């Protein structure tokens, strides 16, 4: 697009794009190195009071939400839009150029051209050359005059759109980022076993956000290496909405749960000194869990049971076994060691029970909602396609001008490519050899 408007030229500048992208790259590195959305005390302790104050003034502590970082992204978006509007008409013209309108002088001005003589009438020569071009994957069109016939073929003309696909993909990714910034959130929640939570603590803010439904941690299990380091941990969660249990599933690291666009990631856990004792009354088909402090007696009045944990075995910081004491107040009390996965069948006063006892844990969940994530994924896919087209494909064009020359014909082969010219030179050399060989007979 031709215009003398200086503002237009400023926003259409490739130099502006390079400067903006460089600034975004440098500031993103800073934002990666300096932890984001931490309390001010963290920055004072880590970098000193003066640096912490500077971070606050420049919004580096929340860099990706700062006005200047958002401004850089908007500037890049405007730059890409104006660049595309300014340059795409020329690319579109190249895509739709009629190659049959090229003159002999213009063909001889191309970087790759050569000529030779062929015996025989022009019609027969043209047919032979057309077949030879088709054998190499070209689909030539032709234009016939009284003195010559011009054949034209091209490949990869849509490769000229590769750069613009990349532009569009960046705009889509930015759009997805803005949607995620406006409608998304990130936070965390800690739920002890057998308990429920319906809100999360937002990262970087002294705020809570209601989820609109409830999450219950039914159980939490952790396996350890012999060294005591955690090997694997899994939470069994139930989603409850409007008083109804919607779904129950296990989540572990790299196996999150997504419900209503909100994703729950297994991120941490916390062990307590208390124990989780679960008792099932088989006759009444009742099951109830109790949080029991170490060496303190608990009761289930409905069935007349008293119980407690009187001893425990530990590995590292974790309790791997508990000694249960339980009585119905009538017969002799029972005491048994239980591993965390053990279920102890008991008969007390003629009633059958199943009992489990383990250390109480709380699952730590990272919670995130990003409504723009599919826009970002789509933009990334489009960017890969655009980069492949832009860097690995080229617009290649070939012409064959067959002119009457005495008893035979003269053949002018010309070609051009907008990228990878060394590779195209080899293509032209091979094509010339193929055409000469195909038309000798």
Burial of 435 (0-12, 13-18, 19+ CB in 10 A): buried
Which H/E stretch holds residue 361? strand 351-369
**DSSP structure string for 163-229:** HHHHHHHHHHHHHHHHHHHHH-EEEEEEEETT-EEEEEEETTSS-EEEEEEEEEEEEEEEEE-TTS-
How far apart are alpha carbons 3 and 176 in whole angstroms? 32
Q: Which residues pair with 169 in a beta bridge?
A: none
Residues 6+ apart with CB under 8 A from 279: 287, 288, 290, 300, 303, 305, 307, 353, 354, 355
Residue 33 confidence (pLDDT) above 70 = yes
pLDDT bin (cut points 50, 70, 90) of residue 2 is low
Residue 441 confidence (pLDDT) above 70 = no
How far apart are alpha carbons 54 and 38 in whole angstroms? 15
What is the structure's pLDDT at 302?
Answer: 86
**DSSP structure string for 89-132:** HHHHHHHT--GGG--HHHHHTSSEEEEEEEES-HHHHHHHHHHH
Residue 198 confidence (pLDDT) above 60 = yes
**Which of the two residues, 191 and 317, has the higher pLDDT score?**
191
Nearest to 427 by CA among 92, 101, 153, 143: 153
Which H/E stretch holds residue 248? strand 244-252
What is the structure's pLDDT at 1?
Answer: 59
Residues 6+ apart with CB under 8 A from 404: 122, 147, 148
**DSSP structure string for 388-424:** HHHHH---EEEEEEEEEETTEEEEEEEEEESS-HHHH
Q: What is the DSSP letter of 159?
A: G
Whether the CB-CB separation of 324 and 335 falls below 8 Å is answered with yes
3-state SS, residue 288: strand
Residue 408 confidence (pLDDT) above 90 = no
Share above pLDDT 90 across residues of the chain, in percent, rounded to a whole number: 68
């Amino acid at each position: 697009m031709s215009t003398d408007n200086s503002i237009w030229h400023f926003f259409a500048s490739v130099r502006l794009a390079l400067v903006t992208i460089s600034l975004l790259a440098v500031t993103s590195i800073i934002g990666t190195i300096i932890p984001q959305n931490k309390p001010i005390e963290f920055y004072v302790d880590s970098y000193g009071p003066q640096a912490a104050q500077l971070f606050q003034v420049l919004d580096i502590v929340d860099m990706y939400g700062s006005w200047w970082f958002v401004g850089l992204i908007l500037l890049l978006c405007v730059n890409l839009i104006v660049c595309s509007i300014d340059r795409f008409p020329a690319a579109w013209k190249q895509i739709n150029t009629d190659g049959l309108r090229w003159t002999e002088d213009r063909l001889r001005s191309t970087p790759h051209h050569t000529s030779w003589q062929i015996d025989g009438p022009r019609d027969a020569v043209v047919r032979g050359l057309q077949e030879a071009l088709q054998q190499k994957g070209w689909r030539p069109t032709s234009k016939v005059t009284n003195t010559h016939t011009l054949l034209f073929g091209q490949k990869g003309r849509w490769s000229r759109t590769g750069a613009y696909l990349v532009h569009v993909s960046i705009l889509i990714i930015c759009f997805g980022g803005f949607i995620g910034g406006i409608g998304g959130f990130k936070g965390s929640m800690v739920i002890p076993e057998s308990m429920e939570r319906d809100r999360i603590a937002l990262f970087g803010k002294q705020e809570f956000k209601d989820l609109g439904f409830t999450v219950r941690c039914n159980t939490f299990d952790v396996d350890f290496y012999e060294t005591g380091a955690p090997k694997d941990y899994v939470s069994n969660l139930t989603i409850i909405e409007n008083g109804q249990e919607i779904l129950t599933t296990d989540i572990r690291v790299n196996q999150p749960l997504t419900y209503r666009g909100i994703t729950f990631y297994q991120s941490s856990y916390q062990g307590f000194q208390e124990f989780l004792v679960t008792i099932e009354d088989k006759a009444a088909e009742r099951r109830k869990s109790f949080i029991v402090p170490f060496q303190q007696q608990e009761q289930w009045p409905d069935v007349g049971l008293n119980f407690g944990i009187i001893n425990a075995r530990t590995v590292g910081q974790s309790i791997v076994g508990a000694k249960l004491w339980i009585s119905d107040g009538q017969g002799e009390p029972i005491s048994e060691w239980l591993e965390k996965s053990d279920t102890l069948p008991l008969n007390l006063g003629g009633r059958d029970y199943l009992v489990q006892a383990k250390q109480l844990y709380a699952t730590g969940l990272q919670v995130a909602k990003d409504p723009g994530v599919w826009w970002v994924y789509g933009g990334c896919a489009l960017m890969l396609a655009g980069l492949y087209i832009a860097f690995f494909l080229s617009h290649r064009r070939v012409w064959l001008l067959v002119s009457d020359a005495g008893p035979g014909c003269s053949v002018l082969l010309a070609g051009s490519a907008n990228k990878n010219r060394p590779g195209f030179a080899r293509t032209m050399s091979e094509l010339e050899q193929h055409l000469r060989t195909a038309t000798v007979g």
